[in-house]
Structure 1
Amino acid sequence: MIELAIVEDDEAQAWLLHRYVERYAAEHGADIHTTVHGSAEDLLDNRAKAADLVFMDIQLPGIDGMEAVRRIRERRTDVPVIFITSLAQYAIEGYRVHALDFVVKPVSYSNFEFKMTRAMRAVQREHGISVVVRSDDGLHVVETRNIRYLEVRNHDLIYHLTMGELRTRGSVTERERDLLDAGFVRCNVCYLVNMRHISDITDDGLVLDDGTVLGVSRARRRSTMEAFARYMGGAC
């Protein structure tokens, strides 16, 4: 189930968005639980830790939406936020707090559906999926979010995890097909990398969040950069 929070002090707008979420869930077969908050303080006090996705009005009484997202980002960098605004120029400032997108009032369902589909991809990417890995000591169910990268070495396929590693037989190419939609990119013949764990890209290669540096082949550099740009934009 996806936990979605709407923060909107205008009751009519909040009701409209809630109805749009219900319609979207019905049409797309999504399991979404929605909570509506009339102020940013209410979200920060009650639901910010649980929310998987936030629709945030910018112009709110008390703490405005921009400041609320700054506070959320101090604790959580992963939750996608879509700003609701009557002024499009606020969008530029929104990207400074890593907002996924924005919608301009009055919100039409077609526009909402487009933004929501993009947001759901981002949420599913953050949640990740699970894969089954067969190693010498049995079967392991591994969440993709816990895989930093896969490496082929001496005919072994090594899963480098956030906690340890697993070795199995297989090829990177086989797993690439399975993990393409889970936010992984093939940066050379040896490595398949989870882009959620990339912290920087330098001339030396991809720098992961544990300090590991993985080389990017010349042939795959452009495609790797393009894939990472799409990932950061929430398009995959």
Structure 2
Amino acid sequence: MYRIVVCDDNDIQAKKLCEDIRKSLEEVTNQVEIFKFNSGEDLLEAELMDIDIFFLDIQMDKITGMDVAKEIRKDNDKSEIIFVTALTEYVREGYKVRAYRYLLKPIKFEELKENILSCIEDIIKRHKNFMIIENKEKTYKIIIGSIKYIEVRKKELTLHTTEDSYKTKNSLENIELELKKYNFFRCHKGYLINMEHIDCISKKFVTIDGEEIPVSRHRMATLKKN
């Protein structure tokens, strides 16, 4: 399921863009959910989660599309942002919010299709570096590279990432198998560490972001070789 936002204060243009987005994606998926907004204020108040692509009109009343993008980027670096505008003067500013593309109005269907399919392809590639974690209340999509280490206690896993910690019911063996190709190492029966986040190695521990993680004696030699 792809979740897409269209935000344009011209309702006719917003509806047309929504229709064209659906048509553009017909050949790759029919699992699309599109949210339409006619102001940046309404979009920000909605506090939507797990959006794949934002289509933002730059020139809107009160809050511009660029301002909306800056707010989005404060706590969301995962979603793609595509600006729609009649002007090219904002291109340089768009680098600050990591804009994926600029589409000039009036938007030609073939141009939209080419860019959104390219964007979806990039999202698919990037999602291969995500893992899905579920607990009783929520489902999380976690960037694998952000995982510092994983520990197991009483059959419950805790994934410690650069942003937060997430608990889930699973076995460390299953997670180890899933993360094997991403440079993770089983340093202890109760710990799986991301080698990319190791700050230093001592006789019995590795230090990751100021925390000491135990390393089994028989695993230390293998760890140092890696």
Q: TM-score range by the shorter chain?
A: 0.5 to 0.7
| C-alpha separation in 2, matches of 1:60 and 1:130 | 34
Q: What are the within-5 Å matches in structure 2 for residues 26-41 of structure 1?
A: 26-41=26-41
> 3-state DSSP class of the match of 2:62?
coil
Aligned residues: 156
Structure 1 residue 145, shift from structure 2 partner: 3.4
Q: 1:211 to 1:119 in 2, by over 3 A?
A: farther
- Residue in 1 that maps onto 2:149: 163
Structure 1 residue 30, shift from structure 2 partner: 4.4
Structure 1 residue 167, shift from structure 2 partner: 6.0
Does 2:68 match 1:82?
no
Unpaired stretches in structure 2, ≥5 consecutive residues: 132-140, 151-171, 185-194, 201-226
Structure 1 residue 49, shift from structure 2 partner: 2.9
Q: What are the within-5 Å matches in structure 2 for residues 208-223 of structure 1?
A: 210=197
Structure 1 residue 48, shift from structure 2 partner: 3.8
User: Is 40-49 or 96-105 further displaced after alignment?
Assistant: 40-49
Structure 1 residue 130, shift from structure 2 partner: 7.2
| C-alpha separation in 2, matches of 1:144 and 1:47 | 19
Whether contact under 8 Å (2:25, 2:113) holds in the other structure is no
Cα deviations by residue, 1:151-179 (Å, 9 ceiling, x for unpaired): xxxxxxxxxx54338767xxx9xx6xxxx
Structure 1 residue 122, shift from structure 2 partner: 3.3
Q: 1:57 to 1:146 in 2, by over 3 A?
A: same
| C-alpha separation in 1, matches of 2:119 and 2:69 | 16
- Residue in 2 that maps onto 1:18: 18
The aligned amino acid for 2:143 is R
| C-alpha separation in 1, matches of 2:76 and 2:98 | 11
Q: 1:60 to 1:29 in 2, by over 3 A?
A: same
Moved >4 Å (runs of 4+): 165-168
| C-alpha separation in 2, matches of 1:43 and 1:96 | 20
Q: What are the within-5 Å matches in structure 2 for residues 36-185 of structure 1?
A: 36-128=36-128, 145-146=143-144, 162-164=148-150
Whether contact under 8 Å (1:126, 1:145) holds in the other structure is no
Q: 1:28 to 1:44 in 2, by over 3 A?
A: same
User: Is 107-116 or 87-96 further displaced after alignment?
Assistant: 87-96
Whether contact under 8 Å (1:8, 1:57) holds in the other structure is yes
| C-alpha separation in 1, matches of 2:18 and 2:176 | 46
| C-alpha separation in 2, matches of 1:36 and 1:21 | 12
Q: 1:147 to 1:74 in 2, by over 3 A?
A: closer
| C-alpha separation in 1, matches of 2:130 and 2:63 | 38
Q: Bigger radius of gyration, 1 or 2?
A: 2
Q: 1:212 to 1:60 in 2, by over 3 A?
A: farther
The aligned amino acid for 2:45 is D
- Residue in 2 that maps onto 1:3: 3
> 3-state DSSP class of the match of 1:95?
helix
> 3-state DSSP class of the match of 1:20?
helix
| C-alpha separation in 1, matches of 2:176 and 2:45 | 44
Q: 1:147 to 1:50 in 2, by over 3 A?
A: closer
| C-alpha separation in 1, matches of 2:44 and 2:128 | 25
| C-alpha separation in 2, matches of 1:88 and 1:167 | 48
Q: 1:147 to 1:112 in 2, by over 3 A?
A: same
Whether contact under 8 Å (2:52, 2:79) holds in the other structure is yes
Whether contact under 8 Å (1:48, 1:72) holds in the other structure is no
Cα deviations by residue, 1:40-86 (Å, 9 ceiling, x for unpaired): 11111114434221000000111111111111111111111001111
Structure 1 residue 116, shift from structure 2 partner: 0.2
> 3-state DSSP class of the match of 1:27?
coil
TM-score (norm 1): 0.57
